[in-house]
């Protein structure tokens, strides 16, 4: 009989309790056209991925953030990344361009299954990076949201 074990972790935007249950990381504001990290977190799953007796069969991500540009001429570029060692990063979500707008913060959500073969060790790291679409002096703002999660499913043979 094949049984499954599931672990769900909410690693982003931890902090003080709120009245509505919605928490965000600190707001990062940048005016450079070089990527900066909004928040980087270490994800340590409760079951060792190297154990043959409990192989990882599915890894699901939901990554939520809010972004804003300060004006009408420069976009905000962002991407979600992962690392197995905390230093070498690869894209979970390729670079996304959020069109220039001086409106309020706009929320974005990316979710889906990711190949488990990319995750061979625990812990691993996740981060959100943003930059301004140009060096024209307008700012890009971003923050992560506590509804972001990582769901891991293991097979207990």
> How confident is the prediction for the chain on average, in pLDDT?
83
Would you say residue 51 has pLDDT above 80?
no
DSSP 114: -
pLDDT digits (tens, 9 = 90+) for 112-121: 988 777 776 6
pLDDT digits (tens, 9 = 90+) for 130-147: 998 876 677 889 999 999
Instruction: Give the global pTM.
Output: 0.86
At 99 the pLDDT is 79
For the chain, what are the domain ranges?
3-156
Report residue 130 as tokens: 């943003």
Report residue 48 as tokens: 């060792």
Would you say residue 48 has pLDDT above 80?
no
Alpha-carbon span 148 to 30, nearest angstrom: 23
Closest by Cα among 155, 154, 156, 157 to 59: 154
Alpha-carbon span 60 to 4, nearest angstrom: 15
CATH number of 3-156: 2.60.120.680
């Amino acid at each position: 009989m094949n049984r499954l074990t599931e672990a769900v972790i909410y690693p982003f935007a931890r902090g003080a309790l709120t009245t509505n249950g919605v928490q965000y990381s600190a707001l990062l504001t940048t005016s450079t056209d070089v990527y900066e990290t909004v928040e980087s977190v270490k994800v340590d799953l409760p079951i060792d991925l190297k154990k043959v007796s409990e192989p990882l069969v599915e890894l699901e991500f939901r990554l939520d953030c809010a972004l804003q540009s300060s004006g009408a001429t420069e976009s905000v570029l962002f991407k979600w990344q992962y690392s197995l060692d905390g230093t070498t990063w690869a894209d979970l979500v390729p670079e996304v361009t959020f069109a220039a707008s001086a409106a309020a913060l706009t929320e974005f959500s990316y979710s889906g299954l990711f190949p488990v073969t990319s995750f061979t060790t625990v812990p691993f790291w996740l981060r959100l990076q943003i930059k301004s679409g140009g060096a024209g002096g307008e700012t890009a703002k971003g923050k992560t949201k506590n509804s972001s999660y990582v769901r891991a499913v293991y097979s207990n043979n």
